[in-house]
Chain A
Amino acid sequence: MTHPRHGLNEIIHAPVRLSIMAALAPVEKAEFRFLRDTIEVSDSLLSKHMLTLEEAGYVRVEKAFVGKRPRTWLALTEEGRAAFKEYTSVLRRITEGTLHA
């Protein structure tokens, strides 16, 4: 199995999770509602995929209260950053291979 596609991380390589990782990669942390509005998904769908990424160790979730108002902050872990970097590297290898084929 030498084709770069075999190196694609299947946890990240799904439309919503890919968008979540791409949104969190350039930031230190982002609030749940910001992420939801940026990648244009529902609360429930975002929660579902965040759970998958959290269980994989790619995303850290912090809950805080401002008065009575809950705020949920999301951030990539070091493992998540490394996985996303590797994932984009594999994507580029595949697309460059396609161009040169």
Chain B
Amino acid sequence: MNARDDIGHDITPDAALREIDRVSGSVRRSTRWAGRWLLVLGLGTIVYWLVMLLGPGSLAVVAAWAWIAFTIAGCVYVFRKNVYDRLTWRLQWPVTGAYVLAVVLTVLFANVMPEREPLPAGWVLAAVLAAVLCGTPPLYGAWRLLRAGGEER
């Protein structure tokens, strides 16, 4: 029997409001993982594509393996979570859809990039832009979730 199991039914309105603040605050702190996860995903995406598009071939192989490991770890991390806040729930499909589209466009861009060295400055700029744009959907999600922070969602 837990220490709180035997609490009676008398509770004052003040105590009830305090309990609501305490519990909802505790739950909100537990839901902040999604914003942090999207931030890591967004920044990781940018670094990954910068390496893949502009880095040397040997580094690209390392980046590809690191990305596979990161994706598997990310799936396990998200799957093991046992609470989802309302804003995360609302954002999950728009952010996922935009991210998938951004990845597809970046892959298409990678296929049309010239392979000659050195790469013209215009292509370097376009590659940086493509990498940043690919990381934008999860970064947007992270910004929305972290900004909401402890506020009412």
* A residues with CB within 8 A of B: 5, 8, 13-16, 18-19, 22-23, 25-31, 33-34, 38-42, 45, 71, 88, 91-92, 94-95, 98
Contact = CB atoms under 8 A, between A and B. Distances in A.
B86 A27 contact: yes
B23 A23 contact: yes
Interface residues of B, number: 31
10 contacts: A15-B11, A22-B19, A22-B27, A23-B27, A25-B24, A28-B88, A30-B82, A31-B83, A38-B27, A41-B4
B17 A92 contact: yes
A94 B27 contact: no
Contacts, number: 93
A40 B1 CA distance: 10
A26 B5 contact: no
Nearest to A36: B2
A40 B89 CA distance: 25
B88 to A, nearest CB: 7
Contact of A95 (B7, B17, B82): B17
B45 interface: no
A59 B8 CA distance: 22
A38 B30 contact: yes
B30 A34 contact: yes
B13 A91 contact: yes
B36 interface: no
